[in-house]
Amino acid sequence: MARQSLEPSRDPADYTFTHRLRARFAETDAMGVIHHAAYLPYLEEARVEYLRAVGHPYDVVRGGESEDAREFPVLEVSVQYRRPLEFDDEVDVALRIGAVRGATFQIAYLLSANGEPRATAVTVHGCVDGRGRPARLPGWVRDTAGAATAPPAVRSSPPS
């Protein structure tokens, strides 16, 4: 894999935002644990909550007029599974944004349950406009990634 450069650590202090979710029964498999493919929607759900927390809800980002609308398609993903997640686990998905390069950026993730690391992951994102054409990254993504190198830990709340 070419582009990925972030190294996701197992120390929650290295992340700037955490979203908690609950592992669904529908996401288990016949090994009795959460199926490995179910982790990708977990990462996505955490990204969406992060965008909301920094004031740029993804449905608004996507919903602008064609020139202003932006989508951040996933160009690469990698996940390292360390210990299984199980049904009904409360999963803390911690993330930090970084490695802004041209029109791409990366996000590192740490998934924990009961305070123990369960998986780490990295996604690489591009940026396209409302017609699917490559587009400039909004300035706030760059700013957010810069700010993310600073320590402040934000804790999300689930939908209320």
Which residues contact a copy of itself by CB under 8 A?
1-2, 4, 20-22, 24-33, 35-37, 40-41, 44-45, 48, 57-59, 71, 73-81, 86-88, 90, 122, 132, 157-160
Q: How far apart are CA 112 and CA 83, in angstroms?
A: 9
Q: Residue 2 or 150: which CB sits closer to a copy of itself?
A: 2
Q: Is 29 assigned a catalytic role?
A: yes
Q: Residue 32 or 152: which CB sits closer to a copy of itself?
A: 32
CB of 24 to a copy of itself, least distance (A): 6
Question: Which are the contacts of 127, defined by CB distance < 8 A and separation ≥ 6?
Answer: 70, 71, 72, 103, 104, 134, 135, 136, 137, 138, 141
Q: Residue 36 or 142: which CB sits closer to a copy of itself?
A: 36
CB of 146 to a copy of itself, least distance (A): 25
Residue 4: Cβ within 10 Å count: 16
CB 54 within 8 A of CB 1: no
CB of 131 to a copy of itself, least distance (A): 11
Catalytic position from the list 11, 14, 29, 68: 29
CB of 148 to a copy of itself, least distance (A): 21
Q: Residue 31 or 150: which CB sits closer to a copy of itself?
A: 31
Question: Which are the contacts of 111, defined by CB distance < 8 A and separation ≥ 6?
Answer: 39, 42, 85, 91, 92, 93, 94, 117, 118, 119, 120, 121
DSSP 8: -
Question: Which positions are catalytic?
Answer: 29
